[in-house]
Amino acid sequence: MSSDYNHDPSEDQRSLWSQEQNDLKKQLVLEDAVSFDAATLTGLKYVGGVDLSFPLGDHENAVACLIVMKMPDLQIVYKEFLHTKLHLPYISGFLAFREVEPLLKLINQLKSNKPEFYPQVILVDGNGLLHPRRFGIASHLGVLCQTPTVGVAKNFLVIPSEFDDMGSLKGKFKESLFRKGDDYKLVGAASGAVYGTALRTSNTATNPVFVSQGHLVSLETAIKIVLNTSPLYRIPEPIRAADLESRAYIRSNVLL
DNA sequence: GCGACAG
DNA sequence: ATCTTGTCGC
C-alpha cells in the first residue's frame, strides 16, 4: 500500500530520455545571443517567467502560467494560464518531460497572439546547465522555443559525480554569501566545469538561489538578469508572479 | 547495497 | 510540488 505508486522509471526509459536530452543538447548555445546589451542590460524591455502549480495532493492536474514583465519597473504586461493534465510523474533529472509541454504551449500562444510582448529572456523555475547531463528544463525549454532562458532553482540539485560532499557545500554558501549579489560558483570536482552559481538575491533571505544558463545566455548575463529582477525577494519577480498567479488561479477555481 | 534527488 | 500560524526583525 506504500509502494503502489513507485514512480521509478525503468533503466530503459531513463536511457531513452537521457538520449533525447543529449540530442537536443546539440542545439544548445551557451553564449550571449540576446537582443539587448548583455553587459549593461540596456535595451532589455521584457522578461518572462514561467511556473506550474498543483491542487493539493493532485499530481495530474496542473496550472501553468506565463508572465511577462516590463523592465525596469517589473510591471506585468502579459499573463496567461493553461490548465493541463500531466502524464508523467516528477522524476529528478527529467523534469522537462513532465512540465515543458504546457510551458511551450503558452509561449507559442503568446508569440502568435501578442508578439509585441514576446520576452527577450525567460526565467524558468528549475535548472539549466546545473543538471546531471547539463540539460535541465531551462535549457530544454530554451532550445524548443529558440529563446534565451535562465534556470533559477530554489534547491540544489545533487550531482553525485561532480559534487560529492553536499555538507561542506551548504557550509560554503553560508560562509561566502554575505549580501545581495554575492555568488559562489559551482564547479564540478571531476570535470572542473562550471555548472552555475549559488546567488544571494536578497539581504534578508540567507538562502541563495541556484542560477544556471538555460540557452543563448552566458552565466554572467544570467546572474545580472536575476539580480535585476529580484529587487525585493529571493525569487525573481517574473517567476514569483507566475507562482503566485497560478496558485491564486487554482484557489479561485474548483478543479476536479 | 545505501543514500541523494530541480519541481 | 503542497498545507499552515505565528512570530521575529527592520
Residues near chain C strand, CB within 7 A: A 52-54, 56-57, 125, 154, 243, 246-247, 251
Q: Is the CB of A50 within 7 Å of strand B?
A: no
For A44-77, give the DSSP string.
Answer: --EEEEEEEE--TT-SSEEEEEEEEEETTTTEEE
Q: What is the pLDDT of residue A1?
A: 36
| Dihedral angle computed from the Cα positions of residues A159, A146, A14 and A157, in that order, rounded to the nearest 10 degrees | 20
Let me know: does A214 contact A148? Beta carbons within 8 Å.
Answer: yes
Question: Which nt sits closest to A51, CA to C1'?
Answer: B7
Q: Which nucleotide is nearest to A243 (CA to C1')?
A: C1
Task: Say yes or no to pLDDT of A101 above 80.
Answer: yes
Where along chain A do its domains lie?
16-155+210-251
CB atoms within 10 A of CB A101: 18
Q: What is the pLDDT of residue A10?
A: 85
A33-69 burial code (b ≥16 CB/10 A, e <16): ebebebeebeebebbbbbbbbbbeeeeeebbbbbbbb
Mean pLDDT along residues A169-180: 82
Nearest nucleotide, C1' to the C-alpha of A157? B6
- Fold assignment, A16-155+210-251: archaeoglobus fulgidus dsm 4304 fold (3.30.2170)
- pLDDT bucket at A167, cuts 50 / 70 / 90: low
Q: What is the pLDDT of residue A164?
A: 76
pLDDT in tens, A202-211: 999 999 999 9
| Averaged pLDDT, A246-254 | 91
Burial class, A180, CB count within 10 angstroms (exposed 0-12 / middle 13-18 / buried 19+): middle
CA of A219 to C1' of C4 (A): 37
Q: How far is it, in rounded angstroms, from Cα A221 to Cα A235?
A: 17
Q: How confident is the model at residue A182 (pLDDT cuts 50, 70, 90)?
A: very high
Question: In the complex, which nucleotide's C1' lies nearest to the CA atom of residue A63?
Answer: C1
Placement of cell 555548472 in the chain: A195
Residue A110, pLDDT > 90, answer yes
Compute the average pLDDT of residues A18-44.
98
Rg of chain A taking only CA atoms, in angstroms = 18
Q: What is the mean pLDDT of residues A45-74?
A: 96
The span from the CA of A242 to the CA of A77, in Å, is 13
pLDDT exceeds 60 at position A40: yes
Query: Tens digit of pLDDT for each residue in A132-151?
Result: 999 999 999 999 999 999 99
Contact indicator for A206, A174 with CB cutoff of 8 Å: yes
Nucleotides of B under 7 A from a protein CB: 3-7
Q: Quickly tell me which residue has 525596469 as its cell.
A: A72
Does residue A199 or residue A168 have the better pLDDT? A199
